[in-house]
């Protein structure tokens, strides 16, 4: 959190960098990576007092070169997020089908493998002892093979990562590797913001 405040970037972008760098690694160091962001948010001033939220989904495509530094990629990710969130009337499903990301003629086919939801709850003191439970609606409605949800752990002061996935395509070892790489990427980027993505892919992962 201190790193994000110092560099004026969101924690969501930090976790996105961990996920997209892992996806890059397992896809032969591909620079062009797309994931789905599922965001529960209040869109208008009227919504602010409604007590509810509306789920919005955005396609997030990043095409980063190996020479790009971690902090450069992180800031580019954050900037793209902010530009996407301005459009509350974005018709996700219309774009999803129009761009060919999902073909309903082929069972479970999708060009998007991963979705992410990050809950930016305000971190409270561990003494508060606040607990919550995570119940997933599954991955079918978003047509992705892995849905990652990340939220603060108010007991430990860390973050909980939940991975809902299709066991037909992804096994336990795949999820463990994903989580391990996500943590490695974040630690490497925080420890040395000027490290290049190529160095992370070759030396860290």
Per-residue pLDDT tens digits for 131-161:
666 666 555 555 677 888 888 777 777 888 8
Which pLDDT does position 165 carry in this prediction? 84
pLDDT score of 115 more than 80: yes
Cα–Cα nearest to 17, from 93, 4, 137: 4
| Strands across the sheet containing 146-152 | 54-63, 32-41, 114-118, 146-152, 159-165
Mean pLDDT score of the chain = 78
Give CA–CA dist 47/54, Å, rounded.
9
Q: How far is CA 121 from CA 38, 101, 118, in A?
A: 16, 31, 9
* Helices and strands (DSSP H and E) totals, the chain: 6, 5
E strand or H helix that includes residue 183 = helix 172-191
The token duo for 2 is 């201190």
For 16-48, write each residue's pLDDT tens digit.
999 999 999 999 999 999 888 877 655 556 655
The angle that helices 70-85 and 172-191 make with each other, rounded to 10 degrees, is 110
- For tokens 């789905």, what's the residue? 36
Give CA–CA dist 22/18, Å, rounded.
6
Average pLDDT in the 155-179 region?
86
pLDDT score of 4 more than 60: yes
For 47-82, write each residue's pLDDT tens digit.
556 555 555 677 788 899 999 999 999 999 998 887
């Amino acid at each position: 959190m201190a790193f994000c405040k110092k560099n004026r970037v969101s924690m969501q972008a930090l976790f996105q960098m961990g996920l997209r760098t892992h996806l890059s690694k397992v896809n032969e160091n591909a620079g062009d990576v797309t994931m789905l962001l599922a965001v529960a948010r209040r869109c208008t001033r009227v919504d602010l007092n409604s007590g509810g939220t509306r789920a919005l989904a955005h396609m997030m495509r990043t095409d980063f070169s190996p020479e790009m530094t971690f902090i450069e990629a992180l800031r580019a990710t954050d900037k793209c997020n902010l530009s996407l969130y301005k459009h509350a009337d974005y018709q996700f499903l219309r774009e999803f089908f129009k761009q060919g990301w999902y073909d309903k003629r082929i069972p479970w086919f999708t060009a998007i493998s991963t979705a992410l939801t990050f809950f930016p709850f305000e971190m409270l003191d561990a003494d508060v002892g606040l607990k919550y439970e995570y119940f997933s609606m599954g991955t079918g409605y978003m047509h992705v093979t892995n849905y990652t949800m990340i939220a603060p752990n108010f007991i430990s002061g860390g973050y909980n990562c939940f991975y809902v996935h299709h066991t037909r395509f992804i096994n336990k070892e795949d999820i463990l590797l994903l989580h391990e790489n996500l943590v490695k990427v974040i630690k490497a980027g925080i420890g040395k913001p000027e490290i290049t993505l190529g160095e992370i892919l070759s030396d860290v992962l």
